[in-house]
Amino acid sequence: MSSSPSSHYLSCQGREIHYVEWGSEHAETVIAWHGLARTARDMDELARHLSTRYRVIAPDTLGRGLSQWSPDPDREYCLAFYVKLATALVDQLGLQQFHWVGTSMGGAIGTLAAATSLRGRIRRLVLNDNGPELAAAAIERIRSYAGQPAAFDTVSELEQYFRQVYKPYGWLSDAQWRLLTESSVRRLPDGRVTPQYDPAMVRQFTQHPRDYDLWEAWDSLDLPVLCLRGEDSDLLLAETAEAMRQRGPRAVVATIAGCGHAPALNVPAQFALVERFLEAA
């Protein structure tokens, strides 16, 4: 059993991409992809749990965490390029088939990949509070804080900020809040600390305004899909989740009580939902 991850880097589409690997002794693999302004380490709790049976690969998206920042943000910070990066990553890892668990943006990448360059290779898709249509008001909310990241004198202040901004994640232990903070902090030239991502990544919403309109891709899917929807999510509305049950791959939708956008995938009940779905393969 793997109890700790290993850290790796690969060149994908000419960009250095960092990923964390758990359970390297297993052949069956899960790609675990984080949300818009987050990092691979958000997947630690789920990956640790799954690594008793699966190899888990959790990448940092371009411009986040320890991956390279894009020198061409208007062109590369978009779902189509993220899919190219994902395809290059799994190709270099020699993965022919695998499962995909994606939170928010990570789910959108998985949806588009499953409909295009990774069609037939993604066996089962788990979307964590993501769907083919997102609420405009919530996108604007996320854009407002992600595009102008806050900066603080101390890491403790940054942690308090994260506890406020990510309160919709649901319950996290003090240790989990500390990990979330320490795994996504960078120090500015003036000595202050700020979240670990390139603020230019929000140009996706201005340069690619329809990037998250994915009904066409959704309707083309023919693989099993599990959608985890935060009960209080303002991004994935209940009516959208219901439409996901009726259209395309006809997702199984599970509502996660006590969460908004997006469940942190850090407690046994959420592990069980994901694990049962993957084991049905």
For residue 187, what are the CA distances in angstroms to 166, 177, 267?
20, 18, 30
Quote the DSSP letter at residue 68: P
Say which residues have a Cβ less than 8 Å from residue 263's Cβ, sequence separation at least 6.
128, 129, 169, 170, 228, 230, 256, 270
User: Mean per-residue pLDDT for 79-92?
Assistant: 98
- pLDDT for 281 equals 63
Tell me, what amino acid is at 28? E
Tell me how far apart the alpha carbons of residues 81 and 172 are, in angstroms, rounded to a whole number.
32
For 265, the 3-state DSSP assignment is coil
What is the pairing mode between strands 55-59 and 6-12?
Answer: unpaired
* Look-up of token digits 């411009």: 63
Confidence bin at 3 (pLDDT 50/70/90): low
- pLDDT for 143 equals 83
Q: For residue 253, give both structure tokens.
A: 């939708």
User: Mean per-residue pLDDT for 157-177?
Assistant: 97
- Backbone torsions φ then ψ of 220, nearest 5 degrees: -90, -10
Length of the chain: 281
Tell me, what amino acid is at 212? Y
- pLDDT for 144 equals 83
Measuring CA to CA, which residue among 33, 35, 219 is closest to residue 139?
Answer: 35
User: Mean per-residue pLDDT for 40-64?
Assistant: 98
- pLDDT for 4 equals 86
Q: For residue 30, give both structure tokens.
A: 């899960």
Cis peptide bond N-terminal to 272, omega within 30: no
- pLDDT for 1 equals 43
* Look-up of token digits 């469940």: 263
Tell me how far apart the alpha carbons of residues 210 and 78 are, in angstroms, rounded to a whole number.
10
Residue 141 has pLDDT above 90, yes or no: no
Instruction: Supply the mean pLDDT for the chain.
Output: 96
- Is 228:256 a contact under the CB 8 Å cutoff? yes
Say which residues have a Cβ less than 8 Å from residue 250's Cβ, sequence separation at least 6.
225, 244
pTM of the model: 0.97
Q: For residue 138, give both structure tokens.
A: 């919530």
- Is 40:262 a contact under the CB 8 Å cutoff? no
Provide the CB-side half-sphere exposure for 232 (13 A, CA): 9
